[in-house]
Structure 1
Amino acid sequence: MPPVQFGVVSLGAALGEPQDVAEVAPSYVKDPERVMAWGYRTFHRVVDGTTSAHLGARAASRALERARIEVGEIDLLVVAASDVPDYLQWDVSSAVARELGMIGTPTLLLTQACAATVTAFQQIAGTFAVRDDVRTVLLVAINQVSEGHANRMNTNTCVSSDGAAAAVLRRDHATLRWLATDQFTDPECVDFFRVEYGGAAAPIAPDGLGNLEFDRLAAVYRQFRRDPDHFTRFTRELNQRVALVVDNAFARSGTDRARLTRLIYLNDNHKAMVDVAEAVGLPLDRTNFELGASIGHCGAADQLICLDTYVERGDLRKGDVVALAGIGYGMHWFCTLLEV
């Protein structure tokens, strides 16, 4: 049994306005056929003026409504944010609390990119373990692309979307029960995909060069420029490490690996999804392969958005074990297991 018992009472999601990838791609990149080959049909973009706190509060309000609980019943608010914040030296977890009308409720901000939400389950488990007075936690995941810092179709091999998701977690709740979390970090790759300008190291870009002109993928290739064999090994390890954290999570939980019934991975491109499904050992239709193509990559919110959809559609059965897994900047491989 896990050291503490808690589960997901309810979920909620909020997405930006749907955009057709084929129609919009030429306005983002010069080679839209490259983007179309990734398999995405739709992505989502918030209307101008929407803040990440607004988006997160929308998802949170839906989760709270479904759980039929009031804001005052939340003992801890955890916010996972995976893109450039609205402001520097500013806490979006407090901003979400303000949007929800929370006064006095402790908040925690996690910024470990795409890994922040899935690994948050373990941090929340720790809170339940050491704080007997904490009964209900609200977890909110937000991804809102700053188009002044990144091109949502030219940062990696995903089409990035604006979306948020929320989960109400309660002590001793038996549905979608947390079993275990595992993470693997390769610090050699810490600089992959970073936003180059605007931080303390390089607050101002050189004349004629900005974040939108800086090729993040080229920086990844340069990492291995003197050792192409190393790069080949690394690309093979990407999916092997996803399988590793899934296996490790099962080992931590004491649950039979054969019970894995669904993998909810980040909403990656179609080729990557095929490769990950093969590495983990699940049929493609037991992953979010199709669902991700209609949502786009919502950073740290991917897994909860997809989980919310599966719950609403009735796709999960009691006793199923679901793996929430992915890869995030840092580089982090991560997995959390939930039992339906």
Structure 2
Amino acid sequence: MRWNEMYIASTGICLPGRDSTADAVAEGRYDAQEQEKNGYLSVSVATDESAADMAVSAARVALGRAGSRAEEIALLLHANFYHQGVDHWTPASYIQQQTTGGRAPAIELKQASNGGLAGLVLALSFLAAHESGAALVTTADKFCAPTYDRYNSDKWIVLGDGASAAVVSRGSGFAKVLSTAMDSDSTLEEMYRGPFTDASHGADLPLDLRTRKNEYMERVGLAEVALRSSTGLLNVVKSALDDAELELDQISRFVFPNVGQALMQWDYLDAFGIDEARTTWDWGRQVGHIGAGDQFGGLNHLVETGRLGVGDRVMLAGSGIGFSWNCAVLEIQDVPTWDAR
């Protein structure tokens, strides 16, 4: 999908404290061989902060940077994966009440790690259809005990706590959205399913996602799973580049999910022939995989560290279990001066 005069006006991030992976290994919480393969130096870990409150913090930063008035926000979308602080509750409405207020639709998205980019596409579509001024997209997750063991529940990924936000705008912004693309393949849905239960989590905690994946791959075959997964990613990247009328070598920076270094190499760098230095892995290895927020967080990092120039093209890409894939191609219009968060 090619977009006309659609922009990201600002981003914001909320990342609490850090847990050193070296300390986690020394204390027996993380396998030393996995630390070496994954390459994480630290991971973002929240203490008293709820996921929803982290989203509020990130949203306030993004709104302040954009200079957006509350009445200009025509839509609020909140993407998340796990518990937001209270059961039987609507975190999107809470985030709205704590930030913009007003009567704009406030909607929660459940698209797993693909939620941030899915929110971007939905916000762009809403603004185009309604000819509205701006939308706020937030993400937040807190992958804590007893449900998760951030170092061991899954393989090739360390789960980080944090939130991100982006103000999406018609007509102006620092990053022009040239194109987006979406794809999905529900034949991969079973990979993370596990048994059905009557409660939100079963008796066996923390979650053992490794066993779910291993049993699925043993039955379907690793080669087949890899082919389906790579096909979805290649589809969205090719489609977004075609619609933007660009080639891959015209992209200056790439923002991929904060997966471990080995998985990043297999799924992204080798697939596209990209050098790690053109990605945001130097940031990702310090915070871990923050659910749906890796892409907005990575873009925020590029701006805050002065790594973008006017005219640079940036690709945001990623996937979510289920499976779904998204890709967005941006062109930098100006380079904001933001203090690092």
TM-score (norm 2): 0.88
Give the structure 1 partner of residue 107 of structure 2. 108
Supply the distance in 1 between the matched residues of 2:78 and 2:86 (Cα, whole angstroms).
16
Report whether the alignment pairs 1:138 with 2:131: no
| Distance 1:190-1:211 versus aligned 2 partners, 3 A rule | farther
Give the structure 1 partner of residue 278 of structure 2. 286
| Distance 1:27-1:17 versus aligned 2 partners, 3 A rule | same
What whole-Å deviation, never above 9, does each CA across 1:37-92 have from its counterpart, x for those lacking one? 311001111122x2122100100111111122333332221111122343444221
**Residue type of the partner of 2:63?**
L
What whole-Å deviation, never above 9, does each CA across 1:267-304 have from its counterpart, x for those lacking one? 01111222211212222111122221111110111111
| Distance 1:330-1:225 versus aligned 2 partners, 3 A rule | same
Q: How many residues align?
A: 330
What whole-Å deviation, never above 9, does each CA across 1:165-205 have from its counterpart, x for those lacking one? 111121011531112222222212213334767xxx43276
What whole-Å deviation, never above 9, does each CA across 1:123-174 have from its counterpart, x for those lacking one? 1121122102x10111111122142212111222211111111111210115
Within 5 Å, give how 1:40-59 maps onto structure 2.
Answer: 40-48=40-48, 50-59=49-58
What whole-Å deviation, never above 9, does each CA across 1:76-127 have from its counterpart, x for those lacking one? 2111112234344422111111222513232121110111111222211211
Give the structure 2 partner of residue 190 of structure 1. 189
What whole-Å deviation, never above 9, does each CA across 1:226-275 have from its counterpart, x for those lacking one? 45xx3223235534542332111112333344322221000011112222
- Give, in angstroms, the shift of residue 311 of structure 1: 0.7
Give the structure 1 partner of residue 77 of structure 2. 78
**Residue type of the partner of 2:317?**
A
Give the structure 1 partner of residue 198 of structure 2. 202
Give the structure 2 partner of residue 221 of structure 1. 214
Q: Percent identity?
A: 24
- What 5-or-longer segments of structure 2 have no aligned partner? 333-341
| Distance 1:195-1:336 versus aligned 2 partners, 3 A rule | farther
| Distance 1:72-1:226 versus aligned 2 partners, 3 A rule | closer
| Distance 1:61-1:240 versus aligned 2 partners, 3 A rule | same
Give the structure 2 partner of residue 180 of structure 1. 179
For the 8 Å contact 1:136–1:169, the answer to whether it is kept is yes
Supply the distance in 2 between the matched residues of 1:98 and 1:237 (Cα, whole angstroms).
41
For the 8 Å contact 1:122–1:180, the answer to whether it is kept is no
Supply the distance in 2 between the matched residues of 1:27 and 1:218 (Cα, whole angstroms).
24
Give the structure 2 partner of residue 329 of structure 1. 321
SS in 2 for 1:191: helix
Report whether the alignment pairs 1:242 with 2:242: no
Report whether the alignment pairs 1:8 with 2:1: no
Give the structure 1 partner of residue 336 of structure 2. none
- What 5-or-longer segments of structure 1 have no aligned partner? none
Give the structure 2 partner of residue 258 of structure 1. 249
SS in 2 for 1:75: strand
Supply the distance in 1 between the matched residues of 2:27 and 2:62 (Cα, whole angstroms).
35
For the 8 Å contact 2:256–2:295, the answer to whether it is kept is yes
Supply the distance in 1 between the matched residues of 2:200 and 2:262 (Cα, whole angstroms).
37
Supply the distance in 2 between the matched residues of 1:205 and 1:123 (Cα, whole angstroms).
30
| Distance 1:130-1:25 versus aligned 2 partners, 3 A rule | same
SS in 1 for 2:234: helix
**Residue type of the partner of 1:202?**
D
Supply the distance in 2 between the matched residues of 1:301 and 1:89 (Cα, whole angstroms).
23
Supply the distance in 2 between the matched residues of 1:273 and 1:204 (Cα, whole angstroms).
31
Supply the distance in 1 between the matched residues of 2:195 and 2:51 (Cα, whole angstroms).
21
SS in 1 for 2:191: coil
Report whether the alignment pairs 1:299 with 2:298: no
Q: CA RMSD in A?
A: 2.3
**Residue type of the partner of 2:185?**
D
Supply the distance in 2 between the matched residues of 1:37 and 1:301 (Cα, whole angstroms).
23
Supply the distance in 2 between the matched residues of 1:71 and 1:28 (Cα, whole angstroms).
48
- Give, in angstroms, the shift of residue 330 of structure 1: 0.8
For the 8 Å contact 1:80–1:116, the answer to whether it is kept is yes
Deviates more, 1:300-309 or 1:97-106: 97-106
Supply the distance in 1 between the matched residues of 2:195 and 2:58 (Cα, whole angstroms).
30
**Residue type of the partner of 1:314?**
G
Supply the distance in 1 between the matched residues of 2:104 and 2:27 (Cα, whole angstroms).
43
Deviates more, 1:27-36 or 1:107-116: 27-36
For the 8 Å contact 1:25–1:153, the answer to whether it is kept is no
